[in-house]
């Protein structure tokens, strides 16, 4: 029988019966120890072995795939089926064929996610700018390594990098690839680990090589003057912000704006969008534009369609008569992903530790690492030449008396004694003697030996030069610079993303200024029907019409630019502008909000509020007697999101909700008929929307909190009777005189 493992330090044994009546040993462990022993190794494994790229610009999955293809002779060779590569890669990467093929797709020329694709592909590999364009299965597509991969593997067989065991120890794989250029800045890379992430944008290869050369010559060089801005394979335009880019180059964090490129065809009166930001997709743009058209925000568009084909991306917008294309595109840039922010997070593994670094620091780390690679390569060559020189020096001694060497070999009776006898006869070591003994009979002539010996002088000169190179940092720098110049000359391409220096930034409230501003009255019924009525229309017909069995729930005096927030029983908040709803009359039923806002099937509207500046606090009262106070600003978003999840706590059903602008007294009533009066200042604001809040009312079993409303709106006469000295409070039973006839409900 196997011995039981002793409990880990800090734990305690507890015997608990399991479902079969047997007794099981359970180890109680402090949560801090659980995190340290169980969670931290997992987190570090994801960070180090999966999600964060290293100084060569690759994650482990990329490196394993490329090295497998290199071993399969796919650099410069003919293509093979992708399924074949995927199968071979599983010897190094045992995470399943789907993950390996997805990695291959992202590196492929067909997908177009990299400025310089590393996999030369044939077949359907989808497109980076489309989320719906699926790539073909691996059995249909073919791949080989692109020619630029020669710069990744040039020194791989010359001991330039360390090799480590694969997952089962059956073969070796490189720990890093000895890239001859800073691929970490050229190939865009994104990864999400545990507790951290990485987002590296790509830069133009020619600019990266120039910047690296300038850095090697003068480390304090202003990199922004050479490495002007990021470059993306999808093109587009970067709105040049020197301060933002300098911050990114210095810290490795920040963001900049990228927008689409378009042209106006006057004869057809249409707009063609042919390049979009790298961070978005065609479908996201189409959906947002369609949304703007449906809500009436954009009225100049007659039709929009995706005409992407083999020639490349193209979105076509048919304009209505009289529409101004420049004004339309300016509005679309403000309201759609046609202009998007790209966030940078240059998080890279250095010696197994994640570090967020600016461009200068990345070049410093890369040049130091590349210097080590070049030294190892030179040292490898030097050792090979020294070994050859050593053999030739032994052969030179044989030249003095070839006949004697032959006589020693012929006079030796046992084969095992040949090498020792040569060593004794000529004063050479075992390696040299083995070399001499293995020379073919036809080569034992003076001409052959003289040619071999003539190499000695040139080898000695080469070795002296290599030894000087290893010991000279200045010469190592020159080698790296010459390699960078060769890479630039052979592989550099013109920029794809244009840099726009002169542009106008739209005012933040420019969209709001286009929405008419006038007073309105908003009404919400118990069943969720909403209508917006102008004061003039309301004065003409003040009688509200509702469905049979329905009635008024909430109403507001507001402005057409204000926003409506609707909270549901599934802890979701739906947002809409009042301007999204047409002005109507009191005699109509209004719009059914669950349908208009796109609520989930079976989702029920509970409460709503209207706001213009998101000031004030929302008080949530739950049936378990708890209350949460959340700033209304917590529901404000930078983008026009229509739905927020986790709008409030899901630990107990919502009993009531109130929006307050100033402190006041509230009255809470339970299903038992007890009442508690307290001041809202006793509730501390919480920073998270889904907070459970604090207990305000102590409830007996089977009773719940039912009502909550301002004390001034109740029929309570003797408020002092119900005021709580401290929270939570059980409250007092309501007297008949304080009950009143009206009952509070959420709607």
Dump pLDDT digits (tens) for 509-566: 444 456 777 899 999 999 999 999 988 888 877 678 888 888 899 999 999 889 999 9
Span 299-319, average pLDDT: 92
User: 3-state class of 242 per DSSP?
Assistant: helix
In this structure, the dihedral spanned by the alpha carbons of residues 74, 75, 78 and 80, taken in order and rounded to 10 degrees, is 30
Q: How far is CA 696 from CA 156, 621, 720, in A?
A: 69, 9, 17
Between CA 724 and CA 695 the distance in angstroms is 13
Which H helix or E strand runs over 405? helix 402-411
pLDDT for position 447: 78
DSSP track, 591-657: EEHHHHTTPPTT--EEEEEEESS--SEEEEEETTSEEEEEEGGGG--SS--SEEE--S--SS-EEEE
Residues 636, 517, single domain; the answer is yes
Dump pLDDT digits (tens) for 47-72: 877 889 999 999 999 999 999 999 99
Q: Assess whether 249 carries a catalytic annotation.
A: no
Residues 309, 448, single domain; the answer is no
Residues 116, 70, single domain; the answer is yes
Burial class (CB in 10 A: 0-12, 13-18, 19+), 704: middle
**Which of these three, 177, 201, 234, is where a domain ends?**
177
CB 165 within 8 A of CB 145: no
Span 672-693, average pLDDT: 90
Q: What is the DSSP letter of 37?
A: I
Residues 387, 529, single domain; the answer is no
End-to-end alpha carbon distance in the chain: 67
Confidence of residue 8 (pLDDT cuts 50, 70, 90): very low
Q: What is the CATH number of the domain that holds 164?
A: 3.90.199.10
CB 610 within 8 A of CB 558: yes
Give me the catalytic one of 42, 140, 503, 518. 140
For the chain, what percent of residues have pLDDT higher than 70?
Answer: 93
Window from 124-128, 159-163, 413-417, 711-715 with minimum mean pLDDT: 413-417
Confidence of residue 746 (pLDDT cuts 50, 70, 90): very low
Whole-number average pLDDT of the chain: 88
Between CA 554 and CA 526 the distance in angstroms is 8
pLDDT for residue 735 is more than 70 = yes
Dump pLDDT digits (tens) for 93-137: 988 899 999 999 999 999 999 999 999 999 999 999 998 889 999
Residues 531, 656, single domain; the answer is yes
Span 135-149, average pLDDT: 96
Residues 395, 423, single domain; the answer is yes
In a domain, 503, yes or no: no
pLDDT for position 567: 95
pTM over 0.85: no
In a domain, 18, yes or no: no
Span 40-46, average pLDDT: 81
**Which of these three, 160, 177, 194, is where a domain ends?**
177
Residues 477, 542, single domain; the answer is no
Q: What is the CATH number of the domain that holds 699?
A: 2.120.10.90
In a domain, 34, yes or no: no
Q: What is the CATH number of the domain that holds 321?
A: 3.30.1360.40
Half-sphere exposure of 335 (CA within 13 A, CB side): 23
Of 344, 317, 376, nearest in space to 252 by CA: 344
Q: Mutual orientation of helices 60-71 and 82-89 as an angle, nearest 10°?
A: 110
pLDDT for residue 199 is more than 90 = yes
pLDDT for position 737: 86
Which 3-state string (H, E, C) describes 129-190? CCCCCCCCCCCCCEEEECHHHHHHHCCCCCCCCCEEECCCCCCEEECCCCCCCCHHHHCCEE
Confidence of residue 21 (pLDDT cuts 50, 70, 90): low
Residues 277, 380, single domain; the answer is no
pLDDT for residue 386 is more than 60 = yes
Residues 487, 517, single domain; the answer is no
In this structure, the dihedral spanned by the alpha carbons of residues 41, 45, 47 and 48, taken in order and rounded to 10 degrees, is 120
Of 255, 210, 212, nearest in space to 230 by CA: 255
In a domain, 196, yes or no: no
DSSP track, 269-314: TEEEEEE--TT--HHHHHHHHHHHHHTTS--SEEEEEE--BTTB--
Residues 428, 563, single domain; the answer is no
In a domain, 690, yes or no: yes
Confidence of residue 194 (pLDDT cuts 50, 70, 90): confident
Of 344, 47, 49, nearest in space to 196 by CA: 47
* H helix intervals, 232-281: 242-251
In a domain, 5, yes or no: no
Dump pLDDT digits (tens) for 595-605: 888 888 889 99
pLDDT for position 505: 56
Between CA 697 and CA 625 the distance in angstroms is 5
Dump pLDDT digits (tens) for 326-384: 999 998 998 899 999 999 999 999 988 999 999 999 999 999 999 999 999 999 999 99
Residues 6+ away with beta carbon under 8 Å from 157: none
pLDDT for residue 7 is more than 50 = no
Chain center to CA of 501: 28
Q: How many residues does the chain have?
A: 747
Dump pLDDT digits (tens) for 409-445: 888 888 888 889 888 888 888 988 888 888 777 777 7
Span 690-709, average pLDDT: 92
Between CA 338 and CA 363 the distance in angstroms is 32
Q: What is the CATH number of the domain that holds 447?
A: 1.10.268.10
Confidence of residue 747 (pLDDT cuts 50, 70, 90): very low
Residues 318, 402, single domain; the answer is no
In a domain, 197, yes or no: no
pLDDT for position 38: 81
Between CA 661 and CA 659 the distance in angstroms is 7
Dump pLDDT digits (tens) for 576-630: 989 888 888 888 888 999 988 888 888 999 999 999 888 899 999 999 999 999 9
**Which of these three, 463, 491, 519, is where a domain ends?**
491
**Count of domains in the chain?**
4
CB 715 within 8 A of CB 739: yes
Residues 372, 466, single domain; the answer is yes
In a domain, 25, yes or no: no
Span 14-23, average pLDDT: 52
pLDDT for position 15: 53
pLDDT for position 638: 66
Q: What domain range includes position 413?
A: 365-491
pLDDT for position 585: 87
């Amino acid at each position: 029988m196997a011995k039981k493992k002793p409990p880990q330090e800090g734990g305690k044994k507890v015997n608990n019966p399991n479902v079969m009546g047997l007794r099981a040993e359970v180890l109680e462990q402090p949560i801090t120890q659980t995190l340290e022993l169980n969670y931290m190794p997992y987190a570090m494994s994801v960070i180090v072995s999966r999600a964060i790229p290293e100084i060569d610009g690759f994650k482990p999955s990329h490196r394993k795939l490329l090295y497998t293809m290199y071993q399969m002779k796919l650099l410069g060779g003919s293509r093979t089926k992708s399924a074949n590569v995927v199968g071979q890669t599983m010897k190094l990467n045992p995470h399943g064929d789907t993950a390996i093929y997805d990695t291959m797709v992202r590196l492929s020329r067909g997908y177009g996610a990299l400025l310089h694709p590393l996999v030369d592909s044939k077949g359907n590999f989808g497109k980076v700018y489309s989320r719906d364009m699926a790539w073909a299965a691996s059995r249909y597509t073919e791949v080989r390594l692109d020619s630029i991969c020669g710069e990744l593997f040039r020194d791989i067989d010359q001991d330039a990098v360390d090799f480590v065991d694969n997952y089962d120890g059956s073969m070796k794989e490189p720990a890093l690839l000895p890239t001859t250029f800073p691929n970490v800045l050229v190939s865009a890379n994104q990864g999400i680990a545990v507790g951290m992430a990485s987002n590296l944008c790509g830069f133009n290869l020619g600019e990266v090589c120039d910047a690296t050369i300038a850095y090697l010559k003068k480390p304090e060089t202003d990199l922004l003057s050479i490495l002007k801005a990021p470059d993306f394979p999808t093109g587009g335009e970067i709105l040049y912000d020197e301060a933002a880019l300098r911050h990114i180059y210095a810290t490795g964090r920040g963001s900049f704006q990228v927008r689409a490129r378009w042209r106006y065809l006057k004869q057809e009166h249409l707009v063609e969008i042919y390049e979009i930001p790298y961070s978005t997709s065609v479908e996201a743009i189409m959906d947002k534009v369609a949304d703007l058209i449906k809500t009436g925000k954009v009225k100049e568009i007659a039709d929009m369609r995706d005409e992407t084909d083999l020639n490349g991306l193209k979105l076509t917008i048919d304009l209505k008569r009289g529409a101004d294309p420049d004004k339309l595109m300016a509005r679309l840039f403000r309201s759609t992903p046609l202009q998007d922010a790209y966030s940078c997070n240059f998080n890279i593994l250095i010696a197994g530790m994640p570090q967020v670094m600016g461009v200068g620091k990345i070049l410093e780390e890369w040049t130091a690492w590349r210097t080590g690679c070049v030294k190892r390569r030179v040292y490898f060559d030097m050792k090979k030449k020294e070994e050859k020189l050593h053999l030739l020096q032994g052969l030179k001694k044989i030249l003095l008396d070839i006949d004697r060497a032959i006589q020693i070999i012929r006079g030796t009776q046992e084969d095992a004694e040949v090498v020792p006898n040569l060593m004794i006869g000529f004063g050479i070591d075992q390696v040299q003697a083995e070399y001499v003994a293995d020379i073919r009979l036809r080569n034992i002539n003076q001409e052959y030996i003289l040619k071999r010996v003539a190499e000695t002088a040139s080898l000695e000169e080469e070795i002296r030069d290599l030894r000087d190179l290893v010991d000279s940092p200045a010469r190592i720098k020159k080698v790296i610079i010459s390699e960078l110049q060769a890479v630039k000359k052979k592989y550099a391409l013109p920029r794809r993303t244009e840099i726009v220096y002169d542009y106008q930034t739209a005012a933040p409230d420019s969209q709001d200024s286009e929405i008419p501003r006038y007073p309105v009255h908003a009404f919400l019924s118990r069943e969720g029907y909403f209508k917006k009525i102008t004061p003039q229309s309301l004065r003409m017909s003040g009688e509200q019409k509702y469905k049979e069995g329905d009635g008024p729930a909430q109403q507001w005096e507001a402005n057409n630019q204000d926003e409506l927030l609707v909270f549901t029983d599934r802890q979701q908040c739906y947002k809409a502008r009042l301007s999204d709803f047409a002005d109507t009359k009191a005699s109509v039923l209004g719009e059914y909000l669950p349908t208009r806002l796109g609520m989930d099937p079976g989702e029920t509207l509970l409460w709503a509020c209207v706001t213009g500046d998101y000031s004030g606090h929302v008080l949530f009262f739950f049936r378990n007697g708890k209350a949460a106070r959340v700033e209304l600003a917590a529901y404000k978003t930078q983008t026009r999101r229509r739905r927020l999840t986790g709008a409030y706590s899901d630990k107990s059903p919502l009993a009531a909700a109130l929006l307050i602008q100033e402190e006041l007294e509230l009255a809470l009533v339970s299903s038992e008929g007890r009442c508690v009066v307290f001041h809202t200042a006793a509730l501390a604001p919480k920073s998270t929307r889904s907070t459970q809040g604090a207990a305000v009312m102590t409830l007996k079993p089977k009773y719940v909190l039912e009502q909550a409303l301002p004390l001034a709106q109740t029929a309570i006469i003797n408020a002092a009777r119900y005021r709580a000295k401290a929270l939570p409070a059980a409250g007092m039973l309501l007297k008949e005189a304080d009950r009143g006839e009206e009952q509070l409900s959420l709607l």
